[in-house]
Amino acid sequence: MNSIGQQFLNQTKHSNLDPSDQYLGKPQPPIQLKFDENQPVIKLTKPSQIINESVDVRKIIEQRKSIRNYSQVPLTVDQLSYLLWCTQGVKEIIQGTATIRNVPSAGARHALETYLLINNVDGITPGLYRFLVLEHSLIPVLLDKDIADKITKACLNQKFVKSSAVTFIWIAVPYRMNWRYGERGYRYLYLDAGHVCQNLYLSAEAINCGTCAIAAFLDDEMNQILGLDGKEAFVIYLATVGTK
């Protein structure tokens, strides 16, 4: 009997796919999840205004490694803005139907959204935030004083989640991908998450910060904390960041 993983690979082969909703002429999903536009947002530094030292790409790639121990020096808002720009920054909007970003995505679907557990960023109250990619802004989600403990526990008590300056939490919105690719789109969600996290590693290294990716977490608990149903949207990957 085939394993669950083997069944997934077999059933998402092109030969086993039904016509996609795009092929059937159904309207595409929005390129960003809705949010309360009456809620105040934190506008981040515009990427064009952030000045970083030039870095050697080869050196950055060779130095890159997972780091779990961080100093208590906070990240600046400029640094956070830079990391968000490098991992999900929108360079161009195409007729309101697609975005060209700083990270590759299958069919430019960009079916990931970014949440942030902020623990130690200058000028930002600790808590859970969502990154609004089209506005390049943050919006508070939950400023519960225990939120870092809850997310750490859901990450199997990996303590560096709480000691990080910020933990990136990427959620997948599968229909944004599956609208074009059908069930095969689930494969691409995980590929896209890898692209995004590698950009975080490299951009963090460029500003003397450390990163550690996290794939070990309790799915249901993480989704519940973020208010996700686990089907239309679910946590797919995390990564901590802190100053070295």
203-232 per-position pLDDT tens digit: 999 999 999 999 999 999 999 999 999 999
pLDDT value of residue 210: 97
Is residue 236 predicted with pLDDT exceeding 70? yes
152-174 per-position pLDDT tens digit: 999 999 999 999 999 999 999 99
Residue 230 lies in a domain: no
Residue 59 lies in a domain: yes
**% of the chain at pLDDT higher than 90:** 93
Residue 115 belongs to a domain with what CATH number? 3.40.109.10
Is residue 125 predicted with pLDDT exceeding 80? yes
Residue 5 lies in a domain: no
Instruction: Please provide the average confidence, as pLDDT, over all residues in the chain.
Output: 96
Is residue 134 predicted with pLDDT exceeding 90? yes
- Mean pLDDT throughout 23-29? 96
pLDDT value of residue 51: 78
Is residue 96 predicted with pLDDT exceeding 80? no
Residue 75 lies in a domain: yes
Q: Label residue 1 by pLDDT band (50, 70, 90).
A: low
- Mean pLDDT throughout 103-124? 97
pTM of the shown model: 0.96
Place of tokens 């149903």: 229
pLDDT value of residue 114: 98
pLDDT value of residue 52: 79
36-91 per-position pLDDT tens digit: 999 999 999 998 898 778 889 999 999 999 999 999 999 999 999 999 999 999 99
Residue 111 lies in a domain: yes
pLDDT value of residue 53: 81
- Mean pLDDT throughout 185-202? 98
Residue 7 lies in a domain: no
Domain carrying residue 116: 26-47+55-211+237-243
Residue 15 lies in a domain: no
Give the chain's domain count. Answer: 1
Residue 204 lies in a domain: yes
